[in-house]
Structure 1
Amino acid sequence: MIYRRKTYKIKPEKLDDFNHFFHTYLYPNQIQHGARLIGRWVNENKDEILAIWEYSSMEQYHQIEQQIKNSERFKRAEEKRKELGEIYIESHQDFLTTTAPDPSTYHPPKHTMSVSGYITNTEGDVLLVRNFHRSDTMEMPGGQVEVDETIEEAIHREIMEETGVEIQLIGITGIYQNVTSGVTCVVFRGEYVSGEQRPAENETSEVIFTKLNHENIHRFITREQFRSRALDAMDANYLPYEAFKARPYELISRFEGKKDN
């Protein structure tokens, strides 16, 4: 394995613009062509962003870069960059390998935290999305938890970014660990509050509210790992959730979820 460490220097006031650009263009283009995002970090001053990508070999990295440069999304990204002006001041990258002379200088995270949400409207319809890089199935909206973000904040942000919908949370219905990829997903159940559903450019190709039950779920959610999460959320038993800071202790939020009648 090799790891590409990409560092971006930005103006702090451009952080939101850069985050949107990253999630809309940089991230989906890499993932679609076979790279894996190990993690992304923002420093305290919000003027430097570090992203680490994993590739099976340097050859795979060069193949992916060539595929990206030939893609329509790359062309749109370049146009968007010009439209927004300089999103970042400068960027540079280096490579780390598992056989480096001093491997102790870098250890990739063993786990990534993600979130997804089983969201219903007043008619009981469930919010589902189809992602560009997983077009064979629909799934509950969600994504990766960012640094310095609670999982509660992450689920609100991800659902708004992917679907344009604002929600309120009811509770946590399950925790799921993909041992192969090192991703742990926390699934929430929630309710629609406001917003007009819409796809996210270059991320979700379809966003719908639909009737979902044990009989028809196979028609919509074709991947077994996503289907089991939705089924658990459908017949929810809620888990308590608490976010806090330590030294000194400060409770940020806590809820235990509603009990369905």
Structure 2
Amino acid sequence: MLHRRKTYTIRPERLQEFTEFFHTYLFPLQISHGARLVGRWVTESEDEVIAIWEYRDREHYEQVDRDVRNSALRREAMKKRARLGKNLYIKSTEDFMTATGVYTPPRAIVSVTAYITNDAGEVLLVRNLHRGDTYELPGGQVENNESILDAVKREVKEETGVDVTIDGITGIYQNISSHIICVAFRGTYVSGELQAQEGETTDVGFFPVTRENVDTYIKREHFQIRALDAMNPVYLPHALYTVRPYELVSRYDGNAPSALSGQN
């Protein structure tokens, strides 16, 4: 792996402005083209912000850098920075690092997504703030000490504003490039008003998605697979539990939909 340390010298009074600029432009510019943010830190004096990015190797970094430079979002970022003033940050520097060894367990991110239908059989889709080229099923990352069932309901609520019930798991998918394992569910709309959520989504709605027209809405193939598998699901058995002491939180044998939202 190759790591790039980007250091920004800022005025402390502009930290919040710079943070908003980072989350709106700098962060999505990198992750949408394949980089991973290891972490972002600010010094106690709030005059320096450090971000460390991860790439597979130098070739991967160079490809991401080319894609970023040619993107429409970068042009928007440059215009926004001009409006905010060049002293949004005083200067920036970067250097590259390689690891001297492996000191942590293998890393994997667990995410969840949901194929949610309404009474008309339409499918709930969102347009993500950082992936404006496609609609997709709502979802996101599982937080520490959170069950996958709690996570999928929370993510749907955060991205669309609605509450849902969950019937079962329809598939498990691994993005080997990004170390992401995604657990996909199927469920049903219960209540709430659909609304794009600031900082999460730019558009949400129920759409008449079918096997024949799925690529009209969902442009990325790895997102299409999750929807197609959920259309006529074979629900997977699973169990949620804690240990020390052992406590079974939820168990499903995979034979039929189980309205799992009521078992958490």
Q: TM-score range by the shorter chain?
A: 0.5 to 0.7
Aligned residues: percent identity? 50
1:252 aligned to which of 224, 249, 253 = 249
Uncovered stretches (5+) of structure 2, i.e. residues with no partner: 7-19, 41-50, 69-73, 85-94, 258-264
For 2:221 and 2:178, the matched residues in 1 are separated by 16
- Partner residue, 2:213: 216
The verdict on how the C-alpha distance between 1:143 and 1:37 changes in structure 2, with shifts beyond 3 A counting, is farther
For 1:229 and 1:257, the matched residues in 2 are separated by 18
Secondary structure of the equivalent of 2:153? helix
For 2:158 and 2:248, the matched residues in 1 are separated by 27
Query: Which deviations, in whole Å up to 9, do the C-alpha atoms of 1:142-201 show, x marking residues without a partner?
Result: 111122211111111111111111111000000111222221111000111111111122
For 2:77 and 2:168, the matched residues in 1 are separated by 42
The verdict on how the C-alpha distance between 1:37 and 1:146 changes in structure 2, with shifts beyond 3 A counting, is farther
1:150 and 2:154 matched: no
1:172 and 2:166 matched: no
Give the counterpart letter for 1:229 in structure 2. Answer: R
Q: Does the CA-based 8 Å contact 2:112-2:184 persist in structure 1?
A: yes
Query: Which deviations, in whole Å up to 9, do the C-alpha atoms of 1:190-220 show, x marking residues without a partner?
Result: 1111111111224311101011112221211
The verdict on how the C-alpha distance between 1:179 and 1:162 changes in structure 2, with shifts beyond 3 A counting, is same
Q: Does the CA-based 8 Å contact 1:173-1:237 persist in structure 2?
A: yes
1:225 and 2:222 matched: yes
The verdict on how the C-alpha distance between 1:32 and 1:213 changes in structure 2, with shifts beyond 3 A counting, is closer
- Partner residue, 1:131: 128
The verdict on how the C-alpha distance between 1:197 and 1:183 changes in structure 2, with shifts beyond 3 A counting, is same
Q: Does the CA-based 8 Å contact 1:113-1:183 persist in structure 2?
A: yes
- Partner residue, 1:45: none
- Partner residue, 1:103: 101
For 1:138 and 1:62, the matched residues in 2 are separated by 25
Q: Does the CA-based 8 Å contact 1:170-1:257 persist in structure 2?
A: no
For 1:210 and 1:69, the matched residues in 2 are separated by 32
Alignment of 1:62-101 (within 5 A): 70=78, 72=80, 97-98=97-98, 100=99
- Partner residue, 2:54: 54
1:121 and 2:118 matched: yes
Give the counterpart letter for 2:119 in structure 1. Answer: T
Give the counterpart letter for 1:141 in structure 2. Answer: P
| Larger CA deviation: 188-197 vs 239-248 | 239-248
1:31 and 2:31 matched: yes
Give the counterpart letter for 2:163 in structure 1. Answer: E
For 2:5 and 2:165, the matched residues in 1 are separated by 36
Uncovered stretches (5+) of structure 1, i.e. residues with no partner: 7-20, 41-50, 77-94
The verdict on how the C-alpha distance between 1:252 and 1:3 changes in structure 2, with shifts beyond 3 A counting, is farther
Secondary structure of the equivalent of 2:215? helix
Q: TM-score, normalised by structure 2?
A: 0.66
CA RMSD of aligned residues (A): 3.9
1:200 and 2:234 matched: no
Q: Does the CA-based 8 Å contact 1:174-1:239 persist in structure 2?
A: yes
